[in-house]
């Protein structure tokens, strides 16, 4: 005689269904947070990231989605009758502006909303976005030289100043790449770059290569100085994201102080 199979009560069946739904929803949420995290790290605004995550959550069936984003963290809680309440959190570190990727991610988030992509498809699309090539080291040196020379010209440097400023920018970029390779913190790179930049511009004028120390170093400093970060922090604050704004404001201030310290150090050394 076989023992009769245990039969689940309707209550247990519905609980199992909720658990299965919750498992799936958690996978969706995980991928959506991946998209949101990458957006934030590529330089997306806090409001854009929050709105995109909210829309993507509603697209996969959440009835309610509460998203809280600051520059260093994302917290999402979704609710739906079929899977209950779920929360996932991310710690975000290391923002590196990449507006091309941001554009692709924005398009991806719209696609997720419109075509209801599943977790696997989303992960695959995200991998494609992350495989997009960036400028190589040599190209980056050229880019830094262009930007630095431009700002030297912009603030009224002579032809010699412009050329010297561009050359120093290449040296600074090489050092920056080297420091990044040995994985030192961002502050160390800024301090060394501003100090070396100050030394090299003073040295070039002494050797008779450039005409004006200020005009040479302003080009290099513009690459480091957090003018954009300062403006963006105020934009965040006025736009209602006070906490992110304050964090960015303090970060910008600290970076400016680091640069000033590096330059002062260079001035004492010369």
Partner 1 sequence: MRYFLELAAAFTGSMGFAMIFHVRREKLFLASLGGMLAWGVYLLMGLVSDQDVVRSFAASVFMTVYAEVLARVVKCPATLFIATGCIPLVPGSALYHTMEYFMDGDVSACLSQGLATVLVAVSIALGMLFPTSIFRLAGRTRGKCPR
**Residue in the block written with tokens 């854009």:** 48
Q: How far is CA 106 from the centre of its chain?
A: 14
Residues of this chain, 46-105, that bind partner 1 according to CB under 8 A: 48, 51, 55, 97-103
Task: State which residue, 60 or 144, has the beta carbon closest to partner 1.
Answer: 144
Find the shortest distance in angstroms from Cβ 151 to partner 1: 5
**Residue in the block written with tokens 């699309």:** 125
* Residue 227 binds partner 1, judged by CB under 8 A: yes
* Residue 187 binds partner 1, judged by CB under 8 A: no
Cα–Cα distance measured from residue 207 to residue 88, given in angstroms and rounded to the nearest whole number: 59
* Residue 171 binds partner 1, judged by CB under 8 A: no
Single out the residue of 77, 75, 69 nearest to residue 40, CA to CA.
69
**Residue in the block written with tokens 């992960």:** 123
Select from 106, 158, 211, 243 the one that contacts partner 1 (CB under 8 A): 106
Phi/psi at 133 (nearest 5 deg)?
-70, 150
Select from 20, 238, 242, 254 the one that contacts partner 1 (CB under 8 A): 238
* Residue 111 binds partner 1, judged by CB under 8 A: no
- For residue 204, the tally of other CB atoms under 10 A from its CB is 22
Single out the residue of 223, 249, 226 nearest to residue 236, CA to CA.
249
Would you tell me which residues interact with partner 1 (CB under 8 A)?
43-45, 48, 51, 55, 97-103, 106, 110, 134-135, 139-140, 143-144, 146-151, 153-156, 218, 221-223, 225-228, 230-232, 234-235, 237-239, 256-257, 259-261, 263-264
């Amino acid at each position: 005689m076989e023992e009769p199979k245990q039969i689940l009560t309707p209550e247990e069946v519905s609980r199992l269904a909720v658990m299965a739904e919750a498992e799936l929803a958690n996978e969706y949420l995980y991928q959506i947070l991946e998209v949101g995290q990458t957006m934030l790290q590529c330089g997306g605004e806090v409001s854009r990231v929050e709105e995109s995550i909210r829309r993507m959550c509603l697209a996969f069936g959440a009835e309610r989605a509460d998203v809280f984003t600051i520059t260093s963290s994302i917290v999402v809680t979704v609710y739906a009758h079929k899977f209950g309440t779920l929360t996932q959190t991310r710690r975000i570190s290391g923002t590196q502006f990449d507006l091309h990727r941001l554009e692709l991610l924005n398009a991806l988030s719209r696609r997720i909303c419109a075509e209801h992509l599943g977790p696997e498809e989303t992960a695959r699309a995200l991998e494609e976005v992350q495989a997009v090539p960036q400028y190589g080291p040599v190209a980056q040196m050229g880019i830094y030289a262009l930007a630095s020379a431009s700002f030297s010209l912009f603030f009224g440097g002579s032809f010699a100043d412009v050329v010297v400023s561009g050359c120093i920018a290449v040296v600074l970029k090489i050092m920056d790449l080297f420091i990044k390779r040995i994985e030192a913190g961002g502050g160390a790179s800024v301090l060394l770059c501003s100090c070396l930049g100050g030394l090299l511009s003073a040295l070039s004028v002494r050797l008779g290569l450039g005409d004006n120390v200020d005009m040479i170093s302003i080009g290099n400093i513009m690459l480091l100085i957090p003018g954009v970060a300062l403006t963006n922090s105020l934009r965040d604050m006025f736009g209602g994201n006070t906490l992110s704004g304050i964090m960015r404001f303090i970060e910008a201030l600290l970076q400016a102080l680091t640069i000033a310290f590096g330059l002062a150090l260079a001035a004492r050394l010369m």
